[in-house]
Amino acid sequence: MTMSTENNSNLNHSTILTSTHPIWLKYNLNDFLFLIALTIAFIAAAKLGLMLAIPPDIISPVWPPAGIALSAVLWRGYWVWPAIWLGTLFGSIPSYPVSAILGVGVVLQAFAGAYVLKKLTGSNNPFESSRNAIVFIIFSSLLSCLISPIIGITDLKLFSIFSVNYTYTLFTFWLGDSMGTLIFTPVIMAWYRKSLPKFNFLLWLELLLFIVFLQIVACLIYFKKYPVAYLLLPFPIWATMRFGQQLGMLSALLISGFTIYGAINNNTGLGETTLINPLFLVQSFMGVIFVPLLIISSLLQEKERAYEEVENRVIERTKDLNLALSELEFANRNIIHANNAKSEFLTNISHELRTPLNTIIGYSELLSEEIKEKRIVEFIPDLEKIKMSGKHLLSLINNVLDISKIEAGKMELFLSSVDLIELLNEIEIMATPLAVKKFNTFVLDSPPKTVEIYTDATKLIECLLNLIGNSCKFTMNGTVSLKVSYFLRDQTRWVKFEVIDTGVGIKKENLNKLFQMFSQINSTTSPEGTGLGLYLTKRFCTLMGGEITVSSNVNKGSTFTILLPQILKVKNKDLLSP
């Protein structure tokens, strides 16, 4: 079994304390090697702690084994307790019975610190959030560190190893363990969990300046003996924010080492005073360094995690969007393909229908002439109905062909100069029978002065006849008028065509449906038509550079207005017929 991750480590060794099997059967070779390395590191850290003792009491301001023990439990799990216990046994007081009890206190303290952090935060990472950092400082570094000193000092008192002031010794041991936990646990966890940031040239240059400035300030304090140690406080924050948590914690550890070195040589750099024990002065200084640094590191990690979450969400949303776009593009291609197939089918079937239909219309006309010559009058109305129905069907087929051309972008414009008065007179001739059919009066209000317009005359006539025919269809015993006028807009001369009727009118909510394909607003009143006329009229007006609008009042009538430029300038030359 290989110890590949922390979670696997905790899972594999979580039952060691309660298992009835021998402990050594629960470990593999890698585990034993780790325990040996941890034991050696623990003994070395204990010796280092003894070397850091500060006069006059010869007490160490920081106890590194406390931080190593907690970080080992947080990192690898509770199963590392044998190394912690053995390290205490061989690294502390030479009396093995006393050291054995001290080892139990150290193990319990590390267990308590790790347990409370995981219990209150759900994580074993003191940097994961500002809440984690505060819980670590208060519970794992301060309150939990009472366990080992209480057991240890009581042990020393019971075995009478040496005479101690219980309260004072307990206080100093507690501060040493707290400082050890506060300093070494974050340093070890930072280097274990985080990787160094990528350094570019400017960042390497900044790091070089950081080292130079740190050396200058340290020399001023500990060699020139200027009492300005607090000038060192910004350096760990600078390093954390610019170079990452690892170098930030390492710089804080280095500054703490400078301070302890200075205190051993009677120069803390914090000013000479006889009111405060140098031990407490150094410990307070290290606390001022590491407490804000821990909180700042956790805030930075929260910020990084928030950025990562936002980035991951953006990536997920982008993937979803790309997927939706690809599906939409696929659906759009299918729609275009289906639409093209429909247009092609309509074009083909329309052409196929026009040939026999023209034959029917032609034969009906020939038969009408022949019957008139033979004076067989009883068949004339029937033949006229055949001819009219054929022409109506032919107009519908032509509308379908026009729609197919428009949707395919192949509708052409046949532009020419047209005398407007002549065009209006032609429309009047065709519109009058449409009006008379429902007992209406057609009125043409044309301008007194004729002008020439440059447009597609055929499509213009079709548009106006569509509007006039539509007005006549829904007007009974009324008036249908065509009013034409000129006006100037944006230095362009425009022609306004207004088709005004006194018919049934259109409800306001139905106005925007008028120009939709196959739309028949008043289909229940009159079933005539297919709903293509107004749609084609709007499309033709757009092709000719104009627009169409409508206004209506129910039971009072409607007004359709077409605005066209007097001279049509086509931007898309493909629309022009050769």
Nearest to 12 by CA among 69, 80, 108: 80
Under 8 Å between Cβ of 127 and 81 = no
| pTM over cut 0.75 | no
Same fold, 325-408 and 416-520+529-565: no
Under 8 Å between Cβ of 272 and 225 = no
Look at residue 2 in the predicted model and tell me its pLDDT.
30
Helix axes 234-243, 201-222, angle to 10 degrees: 170
The correct answer on CATH 1.10.287 for the domain covering 325-408 is: yes
Q: Cβ neighbours of residue 559 under 8 Å, at least 6 residues apart?
A: 498, 499, 500, 501, 550, 551, 552
Rounded CA separation 401/98 (Å): 106
The correct answer on CATH 3.30.565.10 for the domain covering 416-520+529-565 is: yes
Q: Cβ neighbours of residue 392 under 8 Å, at least 6 residues apart?
A: none
Each domain of the chain, given as residue ranges in start order, spans 27-193, 325-408, 416-520+529-565
Tokens of 537: 């009229």
- Chain position carrying tokens 């360094």: 289
Under 8 Å between Cβ of 441 and 479 = yes
CB atoms within 10 A of CB 28: 11
Look at residue 283 in the predicted model and tell me its pLDDT.
80
Torsional class of 498: left (φ above 0), alpha (ψ -120 to 50), beta (otherwise): beta
- Chain position carrying tokens 């950081």: 210
The order of strands in the sheet holding 441-445 is 441-445, 479-489, 492-501, 557-565, 547-553
Give burial (CB, 10 Å; 0-12/13-18/19+) of 398: middle
Look at residue 16 in the predicted model and tell me its pLDDT.
36
Alpha helices, DSSP H, located in 229-277: 234-243, 245-264
Tell me the CA distances in angstroms from 321 to 5, 116, 315, 331, 450, one per residue in order.
36, 44, 10, 15, 58
Q: Given 1.10.357, 1.10.1760, 1.10.10, 3.30.750, which CATH number is that of 27-193?
A: 1.10.1760
Rounded CA separation 418/140 (Å): 96
Look at residue 222 in the predicted model and tell me its pLDDT.
79
Tell me the CA distances in angstroms from 188 to 14, 76, 185, 344, 430, one per residue in order.
22, 12, 5, 75, 97
CB atoms within 10 A of CB 512: 10
563's enclosing H/E stretch is strand 557-565
Tokens of 523: 């289909």
Look at residue 570 in the predicted model and tell me its pLDDT.
60
| 10-residue mean pLDDT series, the chain (578 residues) | 36 39 60 88 85 69 88 88 88 77 89 90 82 87 89 78 71 87 86 73 88 87 80 85 82 84 75 64 82 84 84 90 90 83 71 72 76 74 75 71 70 88 90 90 88 90 91 92 91 93 90 78 53 86 92 93 86 50
Look at residue 556 in the predicted model and tell me its pLDDT.
92
